[in-house]
């Protein structure tokens, strides 16, 4: 079980014209573990995400996803919706992208689109109201209900997603991603804008997702309390390159990482650390 990577990113590079956003990045995320991708703003973290989730086509490099059943999928060859549909990679967004004009429940139903399309016989069985469709729809609603309960929004299931408070919206987005039953869940700054209590709730939610659903999690985060508390493995980026990698403890004490965040150089950081502790 340990040492088994679900995602192996190998020499990933992304250029935009003259700007190299990601430069020769190699790391892997272990199955059923939480991997955090951290780094100062502009380090290229979201770009990496966009490559993994098919929104950008990487300039070079490979990303291999290994499913439980042994199937290996090269993510750089898929694009767009297929990454979610075939590779079972789900994601959330830095600026929440819910469907604001639809209710919380409807949001979770949209997430189950592909399964429901199959069950509705490409709509035709659904049009005639076939029993197989009806039971599939009921199952989908049950799954949605389960998640709404998990994130504590069962009472607001019929409210418009756009009307929900910010913290609830964040959790709803995660629940929606989980309704696609992914193998790898990619979260882009899930704790952004949350207060301490909400962050703690988020950590709890992510830990339970890892434990109960067998999903692997890859997250970008700035909130160090969340990162330190839940990550099994941390990858640090700065200016598009990986500068450190290891357990949260290793990273916390790494002078290179501190230097990157402080905007100072490594020697200064070491000096500060030695004088401080």
**Residues of the shown chain interacting with another protein in the complex, contacts defined by CB under 8 A:** 46, 50, 53-55, 80-85, 90-91, 93, 97-103, 105-106, 109-114, 116-117, 120, 123, 126-127, 141, 145, 154, 157-160, 162-163, 176-177, 180
Q: Shortest approach of another protein to residue 79 CB, angstroms? A: 9
Q: Shortest approach of another protein to residue 23 CB, angstroms? A: 20
Q: Shortest approach of another protein to residue 141 CB, angstroms? A: 7
CB of 9 or CB of 83, closer to another protein: 83
Q: Shortest approach of another protein to residue 245 CB, angstroms? A: 25
143: helix, coil or strand? helix
CB of 124 or CB of 271, closer to another protein: 124
CB of 77 or CB of 85, closer to another protein: 85
CB of 142 or CB of 204, closer to another protein: 142
Q: Shortest approach of another protein to residue 162 CB, angstroms? A: 4
CA–CA gap between residue 57 and residue 82 (Å, rounded): 13
Q: How many CB atoms lie within 10 A of CB 113?
A: 15
Q: Is 42 left (phi over 0), alpha (psi -120 to 50) or beta?
A: left
CB of 10 or CB of 159, closer to another protein: 159
CA–CA gap between residue 221 and residue 46 (Å, rounded): 10
Residue 142: strand pairing partners: none
What is the enclosing helix (H) or strand (E) of 126? helix 124-128
CB of 110 or CB of 264, closer to another protein: 110
11, 26 Cβ separation under 8 angstroms: yes
CB of 163 or CB of 225, closer to another protein: 163
Q: Which of 82, 12, 18, 81 is nearest to 51 (CA)?
A: 12
DSSP states of 17-59 as a string?
A: TTEEEEEEEEEEEETTSEEEEE-STTSSHHHHHHHHTTSS--S
Q: Shortest approach of another protein to residue 111 CB, angstroms? A: 5
CB of 109 or CB of 244, closer to another protein: 109
Q: Shortest approach of another protein to residue 271 CB, angstroms? A: 39
Q: Shortest approach of another protein to residue 37 CB, angstroms? A: 16
CA–CA gap between residue 89 and residue 231 (Å, rounded): 19
CA–CA gap between residue 217 and residue 231 (Å, rounded): 9
Q: Is 103 left (phi over 0), alpha (psi -120 to 50) or beta?
A: beta
């Amino acid at each position: 079980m340990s040492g088994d990577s679900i995602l192996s990113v190998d020499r990933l590079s992304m250029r935009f014209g003259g700007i190299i956003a990601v430069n020769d990045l190699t790391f892997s995320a272990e199955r059923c573990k939480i991997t955090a991708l951290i780094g100062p703003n502009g380090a290229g973290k979201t770009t990496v995400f966009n490559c993994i989730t098919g929104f950008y086509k990487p300039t070079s490099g490979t990303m291999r996803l290994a499913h439980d059943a042994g199937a290996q999928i090269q993510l750089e060859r898929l694009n767009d919706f297929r990454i979610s549909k075939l590779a079972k990679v789900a994601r959330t967004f830095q600026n929440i992208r819910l469907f604001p004009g639809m209710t919380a429940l409807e949001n979770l139903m949209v997430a189950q689109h592909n399964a429901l399309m199959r069950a509705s016989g490409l709509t035709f069985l659904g049009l005639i109201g076939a029993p197989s469709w009806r039971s599939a729809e009921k199952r989908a609603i049950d799954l949605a209900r389960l998640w709404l309960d998990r994130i504590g929004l069962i009472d607001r299931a019929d409210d418009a997603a756009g009307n929900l408070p910010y913290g609830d919206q964040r959790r709803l987005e995660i629940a929606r991603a989980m309704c696609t039953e992914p193998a790898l869940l990619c979260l882009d700054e899930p704790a952004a804008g949350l207060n301490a209590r909400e962050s703690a709730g988020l950590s709890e939610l992510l830990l339970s997702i890892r434990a109960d659903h067998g999903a692997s999690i890859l997250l970008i985060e700035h909130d160090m309390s969340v990162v330190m508390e839940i990550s099994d493995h941390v990858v640090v980026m700065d200016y598009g390159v990986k500068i450190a990698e290891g357990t949260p403890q290793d990273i916390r004490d790494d002078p290179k990482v501190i230097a990157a965040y402080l905007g100072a150089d490594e020697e200064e950081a070491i000096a500060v650390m030695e004088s401080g502790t």
